[in-house]
Chains A and B, each alone.
Chain A
Amino acid sequence: MRASGIVKRFGDREALRGVSFEAEAGELVAIIGPNGAGKTTLLSILAGISKPDEGEVGAIDGGVGWVPQQAALYRRLTVEENLLLFARLERHPDPQASSEQMLALTGLGERRDEIVARLSGGNQQRINIAIGLLSRPRVLLLDEPSVGLDPRRRARLWEFVSALAEDGTTVIFSTHDIQEAERYGGRLLVLADGDSLFDGSAQALREAVRREAPEAADSDFETAFVAYLQHRGH
């Protein structure tokens, strides 16, 4: 996936200022940054929901799966009814088989007949991701997928997402959890106030901190990241 010179304005405010990046097949890219950095805006542009005012997003063969931060599904339908509905809308040749596949993938087969509203936030998020995967996309965009999940469910989620990446799916996710980005993101894209400050591995970001904010070089990754942002004027 490729994006170049993306600019997005909301009135006078520039949410994104010429952001460019590329992601290869099977890569796990974490988009991190403080609130209002432009993470969700960038993901919505990559997903094709919003249009950039300037710049372009490269065409992707095989489509882009999008998983919004808040579960985008029908809470009054059952787990299986949701999966079947979206499989039918995706015009799958065998919606039932696709639904079964996703139930197996999410481990929710035994709860297929439960109304989604009665499921925990974590399980709702798993269905949310499963719906995003129904189109069998080559790129999966996840907007803060682990928000509201307890550590055990969060670990299961990342296990699930990492398996997708290992199978060749490009996964681009945004997160506020810097430790999570360090642990699971093969590459980090740092945004602040619409600017792209850094694009590289977690190790490369450590080295950048050592160069630009040496006083925080030996701190934990989150402290080092905050020091880096402050040093860059954010």
Chain B
Amino acid sequence: MRWLLLKDLQILRRSPLQAVLLVAWPILIAVLVGFAISGGPSKPRVAFLNEVPADARISVGGQQLPSANVRNRICTRVECVHVGDREEAEAKVRSGDVLAALILPGDLVDQINSLSTLTPGKPEVEVLVNEEDPIKSELVKDRIETLLAQANLAIARRIAGEGSHYLGLLIDGGQLEVLGQEFPILGLRASARILETLEPALPPALRSSLHEVTRFAQQARDNLDVAAPLIARLAQPIAVHRVSVGGSSPPLEVFAIAAAATLTLAFVAVLLVAGSLALEREENAFPRLVRGLVSPSALLVEKVLLGIAVGLVVTLLLLGGLAIFVPLAWDRFPLWLAAIVLGGAAMAAAGAALGAAAREVRAVSLLAFMVTLPVALLSLVPSGSVGAAVSDAIDVVNALFPFKPALRAMTGALDSAGPALGWPLLHLAVLAAAYGLLARLALRRFGSV
């Protein structure tokens, strides 16, 4: 068997394209995933035209609020391309230089300020989008809506903060600044105290009326104390309290690395083994081999070992490359090996079944690609994101093909917060045996002359 393994490695070495792909693929994936994980999400380029006068401020009750710094808030979330006028913004959107253009009209602050008057206006910002691409259009819609929601929230918080400040002044007293001059405000608390002090000195006929005023001041103070946090809640009426159920999950970057490693292992093992087995037929060598030189079962074992060996090297190369960008838990290396070896065995056995069924190298390569890619994508669909019937169908596919258990095993091997390794490894062992049996059955018609 070792001579057949050596022969397959010699053939692999003689196929420059295949050899280059086997080395280049993990490096390329490692670099792409590494940059994607370590570089953070990219910011969309948005043309930004701010026609609002620099000194314009949102005012509440005749008082100007400090700047909410909406422009800075927006430009930290998108890459702002500052433009001079509307025409320039339109040109950039049309040419595809920017994803969209956001225009803050000159009267925006006035329109916002009018909301607290008897003749409220309709504050609007303008978004220019190139509608040629529906996906791009939808993306812009989502991004801009999120940005505006964040801007609205920032403004609402400022208003709520100022409201709470005035309320505090009313309750506790202090200095109110109007047109550059400060006026003392006594406040309800101090007013009630003064009235309580004065009450014994008053004639009994007035004392009862004063007592009612004092009581009102106390009630107002106590109830307005409760109103302050209520106003603050208006800025964000519904808070999110996140509760995690169903165990812990690994960090997203670990999942991304596991997905990249499993996809690499799947492509290498399935394509290589399927192609290598089909090559035995294409070269007419299969009948010669099984005439007493090697049994069909031993040939299958050799192909699966080939898939595991090459898959192991390529996947470790990928993980080594990713370790440059993201720290990996090298102390879990034995678990990596277990996940890669069993995942590789199941993938290779599936490749052998495909190779034995299709028999021609070109056909089998296409078939392996067409099976592996959709199954890999299906296994990444989160449960609950599709209808019940589709979800059930996806579960069946995930149970029958080794990608999902291999992904779970890889995630569990890379991070302690991942799934437990036992079941995925057992699942992979069962699938390796089942696909091995299928491949053996398919080989019965493989050698017909």
Contacts and interface: CB of A to CB of B under 8 A. Distances in A.
A223 interface: no
Nearest to A117: B14
A86 B293 contact: yes
B449 A73 contact: no
B122 interface: no
Contacts of A70: 284
Given A89-B3, A89-B289, A81 B284 contact: no
Interface in B1-22: 3-4, 6-7, 10-11, 14-15
Nearest to B14: A76
Nearest to B280: A74
A94 to B, nearest CB: 15
A74 B291 contact: no
A164 interface: no
Contacts of B294: 89
Interface string A142-168: 000000000000000000000000000
Given A70-B284, A72-B283, A88-B3, A49 B291 contact: yes
A213 interface: no
A42 B11 CA distance: 33
B285 A49 contact: no
Contacts of B4: 85, 89
B276 to A, nearest CB: 11
A131 B284 CA distance: 13
Interface string B254-294: 00000000000000000000000000000111011101111
Contacts of B6: 85
B369 to A, nearest CB: 21
A58 interface: no
A77 interface: yes
A71 interface: yes
Interface residues of B, number: 21
Nearest to B287: A49
Nearest to A88: B3
Nearest to B15: A76
A49 B284 contact: no
Interface of A: prevailing SS: loop
A66 interface: yes
A145 to B, nearest CB: 14
A77 B284 contact: no
Contact of A66 (B15, B283, B291): B291
A76 B287 contact: no
Given A40-B449, A44-B449, A89-B294, A72 B287 contact: yes
A71 to B, nearest CB: 7
Tier of interface size on chain A: 20 to 34
B123 interface: no
B163 interface: no
A75 B283 contact: yes
A15 to B, nearest CB: 11
A86 B6 CA distance: 12
B15 A68 contact: no
A85 to B, nearest CB: 5
B161 interface: no
B110 to A, nearest CB: 78
B447 interface: yes
A50 B449 contact: yes
A47 B289 CA distance: 12
Contacts of A85: 3-4, 6-7
Nearest to A84: B3
Contacts of B284: 68, 70-73
Nearest to A115: B14
B28 to A, nearest CB: 25
A90 B449 contact: no
B288 to A, nearest CB: 4
A48 interface: yes
Top 4 A-B pairs ranked by shortest CB distance?
A: A72-B284, A89-B293, A72-B288, A88-B3
13 contacts: A44-B449, A49-B287, A50-B448, A66-B287, A68-B284, A68-B287, A68-B288, A72-B285, A72-B287, A73-B284, A85-B3, A86-B293, A131-B288
